[in-house]
Chains A and B, each alone.
Chain A
Amino acid sequence: MLFTVTIGLVIACLLVPFGKFFRNNKSIVLALVPFMLFCYFLQKIPEISSGRVLFESTSWVPALGVNLGFRLDGLSLLFALLITGVGTLIFIYASAYLKGHAYLDRFFGYLLLFMSSMLGLVLSNNIILLFIFWELTSISSFFLIGFNNTDDESRRSALTALSVTGLGGLFLLAGLVWAGSLADSYSLGDILNHADTIRGSVYYPVILLLFLAGAFTKSAQFPFHFWLPAAMKAPTPVSAYLHSATMVKAGIFLLARFTPVLGGTMLWQWTLMGVGGFTMLYASLLSLSKRDLKSLLAYSTVSALGVLTFLLGMGTDYAVIAACIFLLAHALYKAPLFLVTGIIDHETGTRDLTRLSGLGRVLWPVALAGGLAALSGAGLPFTLGFIGKDLIYESTLHYKPLWAWYFTGVAIVTNVGLVAAAFLAGVRPFTGREREEYRQVHLPGAGFWVPPLLLAVLGLVSGVFPGWTGAHLAEPAVKSIFQQYIPVQLKVWHGFNLVFILSLGTLATGLVVYFINTPGFRRWEFISVLERIRPGVVFGRMYIRTKQVAAAYTNFFHDGYLRSYIIKIILFAEALLIYEVYRGGPFRIDFSKLSPVRFYDIAIVFILVGALYKTLKTSSRLTAVVCMSIVGYAICLLFVIYSAPDLAMTQFTIDTLTVVLFVLVLYRLPPFLKVKALKVMVRDAAISILFGVLLAIICLRVLMEPARYNISDFYAKYAYTLGKGRNVVNVILVDFRGFDTMFEIVVLSVAAIGVYSLLKLRLKASEKE
Chain B
Amino acid sequence: MRSTILQTASQYLLPILLLFSFFLLIRGHYSPGGGFVGGLVASIAFVLHSFANGVENTMRIIRYKPLSLIPIGLGISTASMLVPVFFRKPVMTSLWVPDQIPVFGNVGTTLFFDIGVYLLVVGVVLTILFTISLFSE
Contact partners of B96 in chain A: CB under 8 A: 724
The yes or no answer to B106 lying at the interface (CB within 8 A) is yes
CB distance from A584 to the nearest CB of B (A): 33
Q: Are A734 and B73 in contact, CB atoms less than 8 angstroms apart? A: no
CB distance from A636 to the nearest CB of B (A): 12
Contact partners of B129 in chain A: CB under 8 A: 657, 660-661, 664
The yes or no answer to B28 lying at the interface (CB within 8 A) is yes
Contact partners of A734 in chain B: CB under 8 A: 28-29, 34-35, 110, 113-114, 117
The yes or no answer to B41 lying at the interface (CB within 8 A) is yes
Q: Are A724 and B29 in contact, CB atoms less than 8 angstroms apart? A: yes
Q: How far is the CA of A58 from the CA of B88 in the complex (A)?
A: 7
The yes or no answer to A755 lying at the interface (CB within 8 A) is yes
Q: Are B29 and A745 in contact, CB atoms less than 8 angstroms apart? A: no
Q: How far is the CA of A175 from the CA of B131 in the complex (A)?
A: 48
Q: Are B29 and A731 in contact, CB atoms less than 8 angstroms apart? A: yes
A693-727 Cβ-contact flags toward B at 8 Å (1 or 0): 00000000000000000000000000000011111
Measured CB to CB, the nearest residue on chain B to A754 is B128
Q: Are A646 and B34 in contact, CB atoms less than 8 angstroms apart? A: yes
Q: Are B32 and A759 in contact, CB atoms less than 8 angstroms apart? A: no
Interface-lining segment among A47-55, A319-327, A605-613, A736-744: A736-744
Q: How far is the CA of A738 from the CA of B108 in the complex (A)?
A: 14
Q: Are B113 and A751 in contact, CB atoms less than 8 angstroms apart? A: no
Pick the contact of B90 from A60, A653, A729, A745 — CB < 8 Å? A60
CB distance from B129 to the nearest CB of A (A): 6
Q: Are A657 and B81 in contact, CB atoms less than 8 angstroms apart? A: no
Pick the contact of B32 from A656, A664, A727, A748 — CB < 8 Å? A727
B50-76 Cβ-contact flags toward A at 8 Å (1 or 0): 010000000000000001001101100
Pick the contact of B124 from A664, A742, A748 — CB < 8 Å? A748
The yes or no answer to A763 lying at the interface (CB within 8 A) is yes
The yes or no answer to B7 lying at the interface (CB within 8 A) is no
Contact partners of B70 in chain A: CB under 8 A: 749, 752-753
Contact partners of A42 in chain B: CB under 8 A: none
Pick the contact of B40 from A653, A665, A729, A749 — CB < 8 Å? A653
Q: Are A653 and B132 in contact, CB atoms less than 8 angstroms apart? A: no
Pick the contact of A61 from B43, B90, B127 — CB < 8 Å? B90
With A653-B41, A657-B40, A749-B70 as contacts: A62 and B32 at CB distance below 8 Å: no
Q: Are B127 and A752 in contact, CB atoms less than 8 angstroms apart? A: yes
Pick the contact of B131 from A727, A729, A756 — CB < 8 Å? A756
A63, A733, A760: most-surrounded residue (chain B CB, <10 A)? A733
The yes or no answer to B4 lying at the interface (CB within 8 A) is no
Contact partners of A660 in chain B: CB under 8 A: 47, 51, 129
Q: How far is the CA of A148 from the CA of B77 in the complex (A)?
A: 35
Pick the contact of A661 from B89, B90, B128 — CB < 8 Å? B128
With A59-B90, A667-B136 as contacts: A730 and B113 at CB distance below 8 Å: no
Pick the contact of B121 from A60, A726, A729, A748 — CB < 8 Å? A748
Q: Are A657 and B123 in contact, CB atoms less than 8 angstroms apart? A: no
Q: Are A752 and B128 in contact, CB atoms less than 8 angstroms apart? A: yes
The yes or no answer to B133 lying at the interface (CB within 8 A) is yes
CB distance from A292 to the nearest CB of B (A): 45
Contact partners of A738 in chain B: CB under 8 A: 81, 92, 110, 113
Contact partners of A739 in chain B: CB under 8 A: 92
Contact partners of B123 in chain A: CB under 8 A: 749, 752
Contact partners of B136 in chain A: CB under 8 A: 664-665, 667-668
The yes or no answer to A650 lying at the interface (CB within 8 A) is yes
Pick the contact of B43 from A58, A59, A657, A729 — CB < 8 Å? A657
CB distance from A440 to the nearest CB of B (A): 49
Q: Are B90 and A62 in contact, CB atoms less than 8 angstroms apart? A: yes
Contact partners of A59 in chain B: CB under 8 A: 88-90
Specify the main secondary structure of chain A where it touches its partner.
helix
The yes or no answer to B12 lying at the interface (CB within 8 A) is no
User: Which parts of A640-667 form the interface with B (CB within 8 Å)?
Assistant: 645-646, 649-650, 653-654, 656-657, 660-661, 664-665, 667
Pick the contact of A657 from B44, B73, B90 — CB < 8 Å? B44
Q: How far is the CA of A729 from the CA of B131 in the complex (A)?
A: 32
The yes or no answer to A361 lying at the interface (CB within 8 A) is no
Contact partners of B32 in chain A: CB under 8 A: 645-646, 649, 727, 729
CB distance from B121 to the nearest CB of A (A): 7
CB distance from B85 to the nearest CB of A (A): 8
Q: Are A735 and B94 in contact, CB atoms less than 8 angstroms apart? A: yes
Pick the contact of B33 from A60, A649, A741, A753 — CB < 8 Å? A649
Contact partners of A486 in chain B: CB under 8 A: none
CB distance from B109 to the nearest CB of A (A): 9
Q: Are A723 and B110 in contact, CB atoms less than 8 angstroms apart? A: yes
Measured CB to CB, the nearest residue on chain A to B50 is A660
The yes or no answer to B83 lying at the interface (CB within 8 A) is no
Q: Are A653 and B110 in contact, CB atoms less than 8 angstroms apart? A: no
The yes or no answer to B31 lying at the interface (CB within 8 A) is yes
Q: How far is the CA of A203 from the CA of B86 in the complex (A)?
A: 41
The yes or no answer to A762 lying at the interface (CB within 8 A) is yes
Q: How far is the CA of A749 from the CA of B78 in the complex (A)?
A: 13
Q: Are A723 and B94 in contact, CB atoms less than 8 angstroms apart? A: yes
Contact partners of B78 in chain A: CB under 8 A: 742
Q: Are B133 and A664 in contact, CB atoms less than 8 angstroms apart? A: yes
CB distance from A108 to the nearest CB of B (A): 22
Q: How far is the CA of A755 from the CA of B33 in the complex (A)?
A: 28
Contact partners of A657 in chain B: CB under 8 A: 40, 43-44, 47, 125, 129
Q: How far is the CA of A646 from the CA of B31 in the complex (A)?
A: 9
Q: Are B131 and A745 in contact, CB atoms less than 8 angstroms apart? A: no
The yes or no answer to A746 lying at the interface (CB within 8 A) is yes
Contact partners of A755 in chain B: CB under 8 A: 127-128, 131-132
Measured CB to CB, the nearest residue on chain B to A763 is B135
Q: Are B74 and A61 in contact, CB atoms less than 8 angstroms apart? A: no
CB distance from A595 to the nearest CB of B (A): 22
Measured CB to CB, the nearest residue on chain B to A62 is B90
User: Which parts of A437-496 form the interface with B (CB within 8 Å)?
Assistant: none
User: Which parts of B74-105 form the interface with A (CB within 8 Å)?
Assistant: 74, 77-78, 81, 85, 88-92, 94, 96
CB distance from B106 to the nearest CB of A (A): 5
The yes or no answer to B36 lying at the interface (CB within 8 A) is yes
Q: Are A730 and B33 in contact, CB atoms less than 8 angstroms apart? A: yes
CB distance from A723 to the nearest CB of B (A): 7
Q: Are B34 and A746 in contact, CB atoms less than 8 angstroms apart? A: no
Q: Are A759 and B135 in contact, CB atoms less than 8 angstroms apart? A: yes
CB distance from A624 to the nearest CB of B (A): 18
Q: How far is the CA of A40 from the CA of B18 in the complex (A)?
A: 53
CB distance from B99 to the nearest CB of A (A): 13
CB distance from B75 to the nearest CB of A (A): 11
A39-75 Cβ-contact flags toward B at 8 Å (1 or 0): 0000000000000000000111111000000000000
CB distance from A668 to the nearest CB of B (A): 5
Q: Are B30 and A726 in contact, CB atoms less than 8 angstroms apart? A: yes
Q: Are B44 and A656 in contact, CB atoms less than 8 angstroms apart? A: yes
A60, A645, A656, A724: most-surrounded residue (chain B CB, <10 A)? A724
The yes or no answer to B13 lying at the interface (CB within 8 A) is no
Measured CB to CB, the nearest residue on chain A to B135 is A759
Measured CB to CB, the nearest residue on chain A to B66 is A752
A661, A664, A667, A763: most-surrounded residue (chain B CB, <10 A)? A664
Contact partners of A649 in chain B: CB under 8 A: 24, 32-33, 37
Contact partners of A661 in chain B: CB under 8 A: 128-129, 132
Q: How far is the CA of A725 from the CA of B104 in the complex (A)?
A: 12
Q: How far is the CA of A15 from the CA of B67 in the complex (A)?
A: 21
Contact partners of A745 in chain B: CB under 8 A: 73-74, 77, 116-117, 120-121
Q: How far is the CA of A268 from the CA of B33 in the complex (A)?
A: 61
Contact partners of B51 in chain A: CB under 8 A: 660
CB distance from B125 to the nearest CB of A (A): 6
Question: 11 extra interchain contacts, Cβ-Cβ under 8 A, other than A62-B90, A733-B34, A755-B128?
Answer: A646-B34, A660-B47, A731-B110, A734-B110, A735-B94, A738-B113, A742-B77, A745-B74, A749-B71, A749-B74, A755-B131
In the complex, 9 of the A-B residue pairs with CB atoms within 8 angstroms, ordered by the A residue number, are: A59-B88, A653-B41, A667-B136, A735-B94, A742-B78, A748-B120, A749-B71, A760-B131, A762-B135
The 5 nearest A-B residue pairs measured at CB: A653-B40, A725-B29, A645-B32, A752-B124, A730-B34
